[in-house]
Structure 1
Amino acid sequence: MGYQLDVIMTKSSTEFITPLTIQSLSHRRVHLDVMAEPDAALINHIALAKEADLFLVAPASANTIGKLANGIADDLLSTVALALLPETPKFIAPAMNTYMYQNPIVQKNLTTLKEVGYQEIEPREALLACGDYGRGALANVSEIVHLIHTALKE
């Protein structure tokens, strides 16, 4: 498809998979730290936001959803999200325990994000990492790719 992918990892995400693994798969630098400025002529989070043709948070934890919905900018991902151009398509793909996903606070935060232009890629029902079965597993990658491809063609 010819897309260029910039990956921003939160501190928590690095507990699940290493930045080196993502870098090896994407063949691109992985962005981790809001204070890291690899190019002295650019403010990294502003440059990443301006360069983005599309913004996807996948998987999106309850914590990240809450931060984005409430304008909390305390890491690279959340600062890039706040600096996105208004016309940038924004997607969020939640992945968490069923009860967390169903929690009224998480649902309120998702509603807030939808009101400001995010599209939710809803989680699917499956056996979850915690052993529960229910809605909370990350949407199928093929569905995510299809939605992104469609959005970029528009």
Structure 2
Amino acid sequence: MKNIILGVTGSVAAYKAADIANNLTKKGYNVEVIMTGSAREFITPLTFQSLTKNKVYYDMFEEITPKDIKHISLARKADLCLIAPASANIIGKLANGIADDMLSTVVMAMNNVPVYICPAMNTNMYINPIVQRNIKTLAEFGYHFIEPRESVLACGDLGTGALADVDKIVNTVEAHQWRA
């Protein structure tokens, strides 16, 4: 069974991450969810725990024991990391090597694990040159992006920034060339 880390960040699209977790779990993947504090403002950990049958992680200091430092053990067991939705905040943290929460710390601790990032934010945020530079930086480091789509956004604006369709995200994960 392949292990997927699903990172959920602060975006109104966080509710769609529940569909992603549910679809991947039903397809036989072991999905471990890591939520940022902002994500927990939009959707509860209990939703993901119910769908994946796994504990949901968000406090990087909760699970430290001499034999299991959770951000390291999660990073080691991951076959793939999917961040959906990915806020401008998490993209900026990763592009600049900032590891100050459970999700960014786990991603920084990963070695040779493919990371797929699904941006979701307001159009003006998405096209901001700083965000675009951070995306370019991560792409140069080998991170993969599942581009947002154009839609009427939660704020009422029409533009690019809506989370990619759930089916597209799940199909991209399934099409990944898994290591043996």
TM over 0.5: yes
**Whole-angstrom CA distance in 1 between matches of 2:93 and 2:113:** 19
Helix, strand or coil: the match of 2:82? strand
Higher relative contact order (CA 8 A, sep 6+): 2
2:140 corresponds to which letter in structure 1?
E
Equivalent residue, structure 2, for 1:31: 57
**Whole-angstrom CA distance in 2 between matches of 1:88 and 1:33:** 22
Measured against aligned partners, the alpha-carbon deviations of 1:98-147 in whole angstroms (never above 9, x if no partner) come to 01000000000000111111001000001101110110000001111111
The runs of 5 or more residues in structure 2 that have no matched partner are 1-26
**Residues 1:75 and 2:101 aligned together:** yes
**Whole-angstrom CA distance in 1 between matches of 2:62 and 2:176:** 30
Residues 89 and 118, structure 1, Cα contact 8 Å, conserved in 2: yes
Equivalent residue, structure 1, for 2:10: none
1:69 corresponds to which letter in structure 2?
A
Of 105, 129, 137, the residue aligned with 2:130 is 105
More off after superposition, 22-31 vs 65-74: 22-31
Q: How does 1:9-20 map to 2 (within 5 A)?
A: 9-20=35-46
Residues 53 and 152, structure 1, Cα contact 8 Å, conserved in 2: no
What percentage of residue pairs aligned between the two structures are identical?
A: 58
Measured against aligned partners, the alpha-carbon deviations of 1:67-117 in whole angstroms (never above 9, x if no partner) come to 0100101000000010001x2111100000001000000000000111111
- How large is the RMSD of aligned CA atoms in angstroms? 1.2
Helix, strand or coil: the match of 1:125? strand
Equivalent residue, structure 1, for 2:141: 116
1:126 corresponds to which letter in structure 2?
S
**Whole-angstrom CA distance in 2 between matches of 1:39 and 1:23:** 22
**Residues 1:3 and 2:29 aligned together:** yes
**Residues 1:134 and 2:159 aligned together:** yes
- Cα offset for 1:33? 0.5
Equivalent residue, structure 2, for 1:50: 76
Residues 6 and 28, structure 1, Cα contact 8 Å, conserved in 2: yes
The TM-score, its normalising length taken from structure 2, stands at 0.82
More off after superposition, 116-125 vs 19-28: 19-28
**Residues 1:62 and 2:62 aligned together:** no
- Cα offset for 1:40? 4.7
Moved over 3 A (4+): none
